[in-house]
Amino acid sequence: MASGPFRKILIANRGEIALRVICACKDLGIPTVAVYSEADRYSLPVRFADQAICIGPAKSSRSYLDIPSIISAAEISNVDAIHPGYGFLSENAGFAEVCQVSGIKFIGPKPEVIAAMGIKERARAIMKEHGVPILPGSEGVLSSAEEAIETAERIGYPVILKASAGGGGRGMRVVNSADELPGLLAQAQQEAGAAFASADVYLEKYIAAPRHIEFQILADEHGNVEILGERECSIQRRHQKLLEESPSPALRPEVRERVISKLRAAIRAIGYSNAGTVEFLMDEKGDLYFIEVNARIQVEHPVTEAVTGIDLVKSQIRIAAGEKLSDVLPGPVQFRGHAIECRINAENPQTFAPSPGRITGLNLPGGIGIRVDTHAYQDGVIPPYYDSLVAKLIAYGSDRMEAIDRMKRALDLFVVEGIHTSIPLHKRIMNEPDFVAGNFDTNFIKRWM
């Protein structure tokens, strides 16, 4: 494209996703502005953006979450759009609204849609209304322990308490019987209140050995919706994803088709636009139940890019500029091969304790079928203030076995010295017969530890 859909884009994020957005902007010929905290002064997004503006100290609340500082940076640098990445302000409806009133395009869904999807028990009700299957649970937020016990008795134990504004696996409690419910409800409410803006908690049926399956959505601002297949993210630790793949080795084609047709109608009815992910749990019978919508680009988006050949971040930008999906996409969506992503975190592979610090030695793997998205470099520092993601290693193959073989090879060639990483853990997973056979659920890692 000769001239981009925007004049200049500010990236309200850091780390690998900030670099990923810079790459998409470079491909589109759009100049970029990086904003950074004092801890990220020597980071790659700062180096590779066309312009960089310091927005505050290391603490996120005073930099990457500081809306006035980010808007000032946007105004000073005269950008006409902001890409929020994932995390930080990406699902903050207030931020999307401030952008809108400041005349800056927020690259994501409309503020009111972000707000509705951010209240998980409301998103549940909306999906149910449009025929998307949900797990049996409470009608909205729980108002008392008595109501919780009544609901749990109706659907049967075990149940799970979940924070309405939840994220990152916080504010969740599994409940096995009525006598432990009041205590766990109080705990969940307290944890939710401390971590999020709201202490609201709802309840749903607990699936003991679920698989996590999610669908990638792209929707334009003219009511057109595409569903770019699924990702399986069942390899988790503490309800957080470690490894993702597409397609799922477990999803039955007829279940996929049924859910996709309901989902397409629901997404259109909601007025959803831009990229998004709809998450489901699969029960032991292989059926899917909606759990939540993530109204942003996700960490694991490259596996979908690998099997569809579609650049999701570039698509987000062009959709935000008002382009139609039929112009943004290269043609009918087609799926080819298999892709796996390993999250390389700076953490102890046994305890999962964070392991920030200076990278004293680094070798990034490459070769056929390998992609590495990272902001890491030799002598660079992984600061302790933010999430521990160092790199995403994506392996693509003509089938799942070829993707696994390439991933093993890439993990062998991936060297990070000076900090601990999850590389040894991923090597172990790749050699685990149950993983290779596609036979696992969200308890896979827990069973080992």
Contact positions toward ligand ADP, by CB under 6 A?
135, 160, 166-169, 204-207, 210, 212, 236, 239, 279, 281, 291-292, 442
Instruction: For the beta carbon of residue 156, count every other beta carbon within 10 angstroms.
Output: 10
Whichever of 231 and 375 has its CB closer to ligand ADP, that residue is 231
Q: Please state the closest distance from residue 284 (CB atom) to ligand ADP, in A.
A: 11
Catalytic residue among 237, 296, 318, 406: 296
Instruction: For the beta carbon of residue 361, count every other beta carbon within 10 angstroms.
Output: 10
Distance of CA 18 to the CA centre of its chain: 14
Whichever of 11 and 266 has its CB closer to ligand ADP, that residue is 266
Half-sphere exposure of residue 300, counting CA atoms within 13 Å on the CB side? 28
Q: Please state the closest distance from residue 106 (CB atom) to ligand ADP, in A.
A: 21
Query: Is the separation of the CB atoms in 304 and 229 below 8 Å?
Result: yes
Q: Please state the closest distance from residue 407 (CB atom) to ligand ADP, in A.
A: 22
Whichever of 244 and 279 has its CB closer to ligand ADP, that residue is 279
CA atoms of 390 and 386, how far apart (whole Å): 11
Q: Active-site residue 237, yes or no? A: no
Whichever of 220 and 441 has its CB closer to ligand ADP, that residue is 441
3-state secondary structure the chain: CCCCCCCCEEECCCHHHHHHHHHHHHHHCCCEEEEEEHHHCCCHHHHHCCEEEEEECCCHHHCCCCHHHHHHHHHHHCCCEEECCCCCCCCCHHHHHHHHHCCCEECCCCHHHHHHHHCHHHHHHHHHHCCCCECCECCCCCCCHHHHHHHHHHHCCCEEEEECCCCCCCCCEEECCHHHHHHHHHHHHHHHHHHCCCCCEEEEECCCCCEEEEEEEEECCCCCEEEEEEEEEEEEECCEEEEEEECCCCCCHHHHHHHHHHHHHHHHHHCCCEEEEEEEEECCCCCEEEEEEECCCCCCHHHHHHHHCCCHHHHHHHHHCCCCHHHHCCCCCCCCCEEEEEEEECECCCCCCECCEECCEEECCCCCCEEEEECCCCCCEECCCCCCEEEEEEEEECCHHHHHHHHHHHHHHCEEECCCCCHHHHHHHHCCHHHHCCCCCCCHHHHHC
Whichever of 291 and 310 has its CB closer to ligand ADP, that residue is 291
Q: Please state the closest distance from residue 419 (CB atom) to ligand ADP, in A.
A: 25
- Output the CA–CA distances (angstroms, integers) from residue 320 to 25, 172, 189, 193, 353, in the order listed: 13, 34, 37, 33, 38
Whichever of 175 and 362 has its CB closer to ligand ADP, that residue is 175
Q: Please state the closest distance from residue 277 (CB atom) to ligand ADP, in A.
A: 10
Q: Please state the closest distance from residue 294 (CB atom) to ligand ADP, in A.
A: 8
Whichever of 135 and 395 has its CB closer to ligand ADP, that residue is 135
Whichever of 66 and 279 has its CB closer to ligand ADP, that residue is 279
Q: Please state the closest distance from residue 40 (CB atom) to ligand ADP, in A.
A: 25
Q: Please state the closest distance from residue 231 (CB atom) to ligand ADP, in A.
A: 12
Please list the active-site residues. Answer: 296
